């Protein structure tokens, strides 16, 4: 404790959109965190995929601001693998006068998995925006979550609903003994946008191109359309219910015809039109029954599937428009009317803020010796 402040050091992996927004928010709120929480959150290291900045013992504000604004250009390149050097920083924390840190994973990479596993082994806490570690092999999930039983904190609010309180809500339900009967959710802004466009009578191929133009899709829209990202989110929710499941156990409908999965991006965009007839007929048959198509996550009775499902228009999921997300929990306690969390399911500011809130909660718990 220095000047009445408890110090909880951070190591931030990933200085892309979320990582840099988080740095800006941390700098902006530094005084508030000190005065309201009696906490200091110095940053020991900022790591990218090609370079890393390590403080002596921590990074100064000016350096952090420069990374927030310009990224890690100018930082030292890795000598070995990023994983080895990031682990070396973790292992040197004791020499820097710290015994417990929060490792923040703001990457979209699998390569952080060994770093996170070593971090929990060394007694550190984790905050993740990256859903990959929690949706890789079940064994990784067990190893990370086992740390909770040792009093360490593993937080990942941003992994499913970005800034929406999805994980905290589900944890609260499960921990208080509610029985989760079913989870129904729209968890992809991109796919929700496409469903709204189909509903408005737009051709599927046109809707995909217009979503791409507006920046709603990944550079290659197939990354969204194949449903893998949604399946990863569904897997995290499924595992939180205590179900042992791998990504391959999630039944997933891809909206990319098989024959267009391996072709070039230009060829895919050109040939997508041939898929319009199929999509139009699905939309029309839903229409005739007063239903609308939604790309849904459905979790119930230990089974999880993601795909296009016709849902009644006059329901919260049916009324969902544009890029918003919605998650509905049907439980023993919320049986007649479900518990619903809804709002924007992406965005740098809201996602970084969820990571920030996780950091604050973890730091406060760590401060109290949990």
Ligand X SMILES: NC(=O)c1ccc[n+]([C@@H]2O[C@H](COP(=O)([O-])OP(=O)(O)OC[C@H]3O[C@@H](n4cnc5c(N)ncnc54)[C@H](OP(=O)(O)O)[C@@H]3O)[C@@H](O)[C@H]2O)c1
Please give the positions annotated as active site: 233
Does residue 210 bind ligand X (CB under 6 A)? no
Q: Which stretch binds ligand X (CB under 6 A): 239-247, 296-304, 328-336, 347-355?
A: 347-355
Q: Which of 169, 246, 347, 364 binds ligand X (CB under 6 A)?
A: 347
The SS3 of residue 93 is: coil
Q: Does 49 bind ligand X (CB under 6 A)?
A: yes
Distance of alpha carbon 304 from alpha carbon 247, whole angstroms:
10
Considering beta carbons, is residue 222 or 330 the nearer one to ligand X?
A: 222
Q: In whole angstroms, give the CA distance from residue 232 to residue 211.
A: 22
Interface pattern 95-134 for ligand X (x via CB under 6 A): -----------xxxx-xx----------------xxx---
Looking at the Cβ atoms of 12 and 292, the one nearer to ligand X is 12
DSSP letters of 285-339?
Answer: HHHHTTEEEEEEEEEETTEEEEEEEEEETTSHHHH--TTEEEEEEEESSS-SS-E
With contacts defined by CB under 6 A, how many residues of the chain interact with ligand X?
27
Q: Does 340 bind ligand X (CB under 6 A)?
A: no
Contacting ligand X (CB under 6 A), which of 50, 70, 148, 319?
A: 50
Residue of 61, 55, 50, 44 lying closest to 15 (CA atoms): 50
- CA quadruple 108, 52, 152, 37: dihedral positive or negative? negative
3-state secondary structure of 210: helix
Of 84 and 273, CB closest to ligand X: 84
- Residues 193, 295: Cα–Cα separation, whole Å: 10
User: Any contact of residue 227 with ligand X (CB under 6 A)?
Assistant: no
DSSP, collapsed to helix, strand or coil, labels residue 23 as helix
Residue among 227, 189, 219, 222 at smallest CA distance from 205 = 222
Beta pairing, strands 51-54 & 43-47: antiparallel
Report whether the peptide linkage leading into residue 101 is cis, meaning its omega lies within 30 degrees of zero: no
Q: Which is nearer to ligand X, 9 or 163 (CB)?
A: 163
Nearer to ligand X, 233 or 330 (CB): 233
Residues 15-34, interacting with ligand X (CB under 6 A): 15-19
Q: Quick check: 48 binds ligand X (CB under 6 A)? A: yes
Q: Does 346 participate in binding ligand X (rule CB under 6 A)?
A: yes
Q: Which residue has the tokens 């891809």?
A: 254
The least distance separating ligand X from the CB of residue 60, rounded to whole angstroms, comes to 21
The nearest distance, CB 93 to ligand X, in angstroms, is 17
Q: What track of x and - describes contact with ligand X for positions 73 through 92 (by CB under 6 A)?
A: ---------x----------
* Binding footprint of ligand X on the chain (CB under 6 A): 13-19, 47-50, 82, 106-109, 111-112, 129-131, 158, 162, 346-348, 351
């Amino acid at each position: 404790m220095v000047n009445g402040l408890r110090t909880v050091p951070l190591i931030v992996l990933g200085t892309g959109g979320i990582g840099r927004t988080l740095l800006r928010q941390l700098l902006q709120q530094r005084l508030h965190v000190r005065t309201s929480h009696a906490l200091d959150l110095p940053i020991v290291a900022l790591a990218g995929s090609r370079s890393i900045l390590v403080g002596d013992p921590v990074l100064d504000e000016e350096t952090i601001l420069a990374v927030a604004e310009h990224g890690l250009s100018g930082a030292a390149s890795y000598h070995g693998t990023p994983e080895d050097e990031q682990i070396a920083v973790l292992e040197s924390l004791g020499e820097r006068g710290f015994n417990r840190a929060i490792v923040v994973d703001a990457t979209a990479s699998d390569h952080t998995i060994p770093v996170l596993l070593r971090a929990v082994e060394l007694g550190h806490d984790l905050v993740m925006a990256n859903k990959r570690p929690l949706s890789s092999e079940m064994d990784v999930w067990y190893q990370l979550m086992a740390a909770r039983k040792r009093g360490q904190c593993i937080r990942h609010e941003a992994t499913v609903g970005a800034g929406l309180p999805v994980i905290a809500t589900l944890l609260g339900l499960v921990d208080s003994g509610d029985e989760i009967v079913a989870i129904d959710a729209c968890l992809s802004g991109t796919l929700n946008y496409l469903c709204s466009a189909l509903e408005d009578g737009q051709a599927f191929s046109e809707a995909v191109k217009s979503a791409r133009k507006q920046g709603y899709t990944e550079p290659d829209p197939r990354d969204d359309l194949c449903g893998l990202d949604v399946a990863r989110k569904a897997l995290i929710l499924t595992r939180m219910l205590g179900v042992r499941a791998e990504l391959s156990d999630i039944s997933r409908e891809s909206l990319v015809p098989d024959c267009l999965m391996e072709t070039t991006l230009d060829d895919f965009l050109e040939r997508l039109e041939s898929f319009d007839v199929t999509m139009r007929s699905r939309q029309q048959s839903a229409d005739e029954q007063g239903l609308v198509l939604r790309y849904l996550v459905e979790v119930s009775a230990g089974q999880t599937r993601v795909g296009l499902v016709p849902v009644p228009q006059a329901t919260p999921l049916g009324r969902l428009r544009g890029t918003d997300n919605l998650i509905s929990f049907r439980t023993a306690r919320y049986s007649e009317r479900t518990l619903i969390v809804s709002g924007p399911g992406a965005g740098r500011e809201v996602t970084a803020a969820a990571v920030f809130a996780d950091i604050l909660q973890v730091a406060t718990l760590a401060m109290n010796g949990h």
